[in-house]
Amino acid sequence: MGQPTPFACQDWASTKAAYRFFANDRVSEQDILSGHFQVSAARFFATDGPMLLLQDTTTFSY
C-alpha cells in the first residue's frame, strides 16, 4: 500500500495483470468492496450493546 504499482507488483507479469484489472470496465469499486460491507453489516447486527466506530484521518508529513 502506498507504493507505485510496478514496485508493489514486483515483476512485469503482475504489473501488467494489475493494469488490466484497473482498466476492466466490468469491475467496479462497489463490486470489490461489497463483500467487506456485507461482513461489516453482519458483525454490526450480531452485536448487542453499543458499537464504537473509529476513523483515523491522521497524516504525517516528514
Count the alpha carbons within 13 Å of 55 in the hemisphere toward its beta carbon: 1
Residue 61 lies in a domain: no
Q: Count H helices, E strands: the chain?
A: 3, 0
Over residues 6-53, the pLDDT tens digits come to 999 999 999 999 999 999 999 898 998 999 999 999 999 999 988 888
pLDDT confidence of residue 27: 87
Question: Residue 34 CA to chain centroid, in angstroms?
Answer: 10
Choose between 4 and 54: higher pLDDT.
4
Q: How far apart are CA 47 and CA 57, in angstroms?
A: 26
pLDDT confidence of residue 62: 74
Q: How far apart are CA 24 and CA 15, in angstroms?
A: 14
Residue 20 lies in a domain: yes
Q: Is the pLDDT of residue 1 over 70?
A: no
Residue 52 lies in a domain: no
Residue 17 lies in a domain: yes
- What contacts 18, CB < 8 A, 6 or more positions away? 5, 8, 9
26: containing domain: 5-44
